[in-house]
Amino acid sequence: MSDLAFQSATHPMSLTIFDLDNTLISDDSDHLWGQFLVEQKLVDSEEYARANTQFYNDYCDGKLDINEYLRFALSFLAEHPLEKLHQWRQQFIDEKIRPLVLPAAQQLVDKHRNMGNQLIVITATNRFVTEPIVELFGIPNMLATEPELINGRYTGEYIEEPCYQHGKVTRLKKWLRANKMDLNDSSFYSDSHNDIPLLEKVSHAIAVDPDPKLKRHADEKHWPVISLR
């Protein structure tokens, strides 16, 4: 943990980290966004749906080619003006995401907020999809995979390291330095074995409705296992 422990006397507050998909909400926003595009006939439905499902299965199996996936996921953003994208996204949030917000998750977030902890979401899903979801929880900080935006248009590329697996550790390390914080008494809540690299770094790792691989790992490490469902 030493490589992430940045000491700071000026920021004594503890950091509480949340994964987003299948942790604070009861499904995967990235996969759902793809389904939404298919349902709205905004993409070549059959081919897009097949690829969307395959990438999600690869993610669940821990063998996702993140670069290949991001080329797929971000290409749609590059094909449409920002105004239209935001209209579709708002519809997506209202119809697909709001029903998936777990009341127990909101209570957990509020509990840590009331304890005076610094709150952050770290998600592999890109910022375009996740930013308004994180806002629903009133969480002030987030790290996500960052789509490239130039002159008000998405390019289909991404900037910085994808916020996935070890990339979450790298991105958090950079954020901690910038905010003069450390991982003393930190907590991380996640459902996914893809987050084991970061779960291993925090003071308190908590498995939330974990997938089978994370459940096995949590049991071996004697990490708490909770459900927000």
Adjacent-strand bridge partners of 123: 144
Q: Which DSSP letter does residue 97 get?
A: I
3 an active-site residue? Answer: no
Starting at the edge strand found earlier in the chain, the sheet holding 118-126 runs 153-159, 141-150, 118-126, 15-18, 187-190, 204-208, 225-226
- Mention every residue, 6+ apart, whose C-beta is less than 8 A from residue 49: 34, 35, 38
Selected catalytic residue, list 3, 21, 30, 211: 21
Q: Cβ(56)–Cβ(28) under 8 Å?
A: yes
21 an active-site residue? Answer: yes
Hey, which residues are catalytic here?
19, 21
